[in-house]
Each structure stands twice: as structure tokens, then as C-alpha cells.
Structure 1
């Protein structure tokens, strides 16, 4: 049986990412812990608020923490969820209906993405809403000792 261990983050759509970063920085009184051209994350008290310019995030997306992402993924699919994957144009599609975005970090059989410090997946529930799952993984930090 799959166990959701609480949510780790909520990702909000941000069509104008710089403006969203500025608004959330003013609201929270601090800069994002991380940001790139398409994503920013504000962390605090074990919860993260993410902002994304990804075109497929139209509504807040909750990522639930799981111990074993493969097991949780299988359980959600068995319960009627549909595995999703990001495709080359940045949109989201049902697994197997479009060519997945290229990258060594995406499992083409599940859509599970390996990121530094985490593995994540997005599925579509039977009611059409998206659900995210994430598993923390240890990071091997490279240390330059020269």
C-alpha cells in the first residue's frame, strides 16, 4: 500500500516569472532559495512554494512526499491515475502518446524524473486533476579540492 507522507511543496503557475518572484519576495521578505529561467522555489519550515513558467501548470500543483516513488507511482496508476511526462515543447502529455522530452533524467517507461536531491513524477487523477509525487534522495556533492 502506498503512503503519502504529507506534502513537500506546492507549485504555482507564473506566466511572468520575474514578476512572480518579485511579488513572492516582497510577501515573504526573502529571495528564493533557488531559481532558473523556468522555476523558482521559496523554502521555509520544511515546506516549499514553487513558481513555474512551464506551460502545463495551469493550477496549483501539490507534490506529496513518498518513501518509494516507483511503488507509489504503480499504486496511483492501479487506482486509475494516468502517468504523464513532459514532452519536447514543454507541455505535458499522457505517457506513450507523445515523445518525451530528451534527457537522461526522465524514465521513458514511467515519466519519473531524477533531479538533484529528489525524484518526482506527475500523474493525472481520474477526475482530471494533476497530482505530483516526490521522493528525496541523497546528493553526492562534488567538492573541488584543488
Structure 2
């Protein structure tokens, strides 16, 4: 059985990422905690808001924190959900129908993505809505070399 331990974060579509970052920076009074070419995250007070330019994020996407992402993934698939993966052109596809994007540590069999501090997955529920899950994992950051 999948065990949700709480709300992880919400990711919002941002077609103009620099403009979205500027607006959220002005609103929150701080810069993103993390930023890349197509994603930015603002963290504070136990809440994380993500902004993404990924073309497959058309609506707010809520990530739910789970204790065991692989078990939760299996439970969702058994309940009729379809495992999804991001492909090279930035769109989302059913696992096994297209080659996963390179360099993102994506398991080609499940679509589960490993990244520093978290594992995440996106599935499509039988009703067509996207379900996003995340599992926090410990990170051993290298010691400051300065």
C-alpha cells in the first residue's frame, strides 16, 4: 500500500521562466533556493514552490511525499495509473513508448528519477490526471574545499 506522509511541493508552469522567477522573487523577497535552465525552486517555512518551463507541465503539479517511492509507484500502477517519463524533447510519454531524456538519472523501466536529496516520479491516473510522488533521500554533500 502506498503511504503518503504529506505534501511535498507544487510545481507551476512558467513559460517565461525569467519573468516568473522575477515575480516570485519580488513576492517572497528572496531568490530561488535552486535554479537551472528550465526549473527554479523557492523554499521556506516547510513549503517549496517550483517553477518549470517543461512543456508537459500545463497545470499546477502537486508532489506528494511518500516513504517508499518504488512501493508507492507499484501500488499506483496496480490501481490503473500509467508510469510516465520525460523524453528528450521535454515532453512526457508513457514509459516504454519513447526513450527517456538523457543525463537525468531516469530509470527506463519505471520513470523514477534520482536526484540529489530526492527521488521522484510522475504517473498518469486512470482519469487522465497526473500524480506526482517524491521520496526524500539523505545527501552526503562534499565538504567545502575552499
With normalisation by structure 1, the TM-score equals: 0.96
Give the secondary structure class of the aligned counterpart of 1:90: coil
Residue 81 of structure 1: how far off its partner (Å): 0.7
Residue 103 of structure 1: how far off its partner (Å): 2.6
CA distance in 2, matches of 1:29, 1:143: 29
CA distance in 1, matches of 2:35, 2:91: 20
1:122 aligns with 2:122: yes
Task: Spell out, residue by residue over 1:56-90, the C-alpha distance to the aligned partner (whole angstroms, 9 max, x if none).
Answer: 10000000000000000000101111100011111
Q: How many corresponding residue pairs?
A: 146
CA distance in 1, matches of 2:99, 2:145: 41
Residue 104 of structure 1: how far off its partner (Å): 6.2
Residue 14 of structure 1: how far off its partner (Å): 0.2
Residue 100 of structure 1: how far off its partner (Å): 1.1
Q: Give the equivalent residue in structure 2 for 1:13.
A: 13
Q: Give the equivalent residue in structure 1 for 2:60.
A: 60
CA distance in 2, matches of 1:144, 1:26: 31
Structure 1: unaligned runs, 5 residues or longer: none
Give the secondary structure class of the aligned counterpart of 2:142: coil
Structure 2: unaligned runs, 5 residues or longer: none
CA distance in 2, matches of 1:7, 1:100: 27
* Superposition misfits of 4+ residues, deviation over 3 angstroms: none
Give the secondary structure class of the aligned counterpart of 2:4: coil
Taking only aligned residues, the RMSD between alpha carbons, in angstroms, comes to 1.2
CA distance in 2, matches of 1:141, 1:41: 19
Residue 49 of structure 1: how far off its partner (Å): 0.3
CA distance in 2, matches of 1:45, 1:80: 35
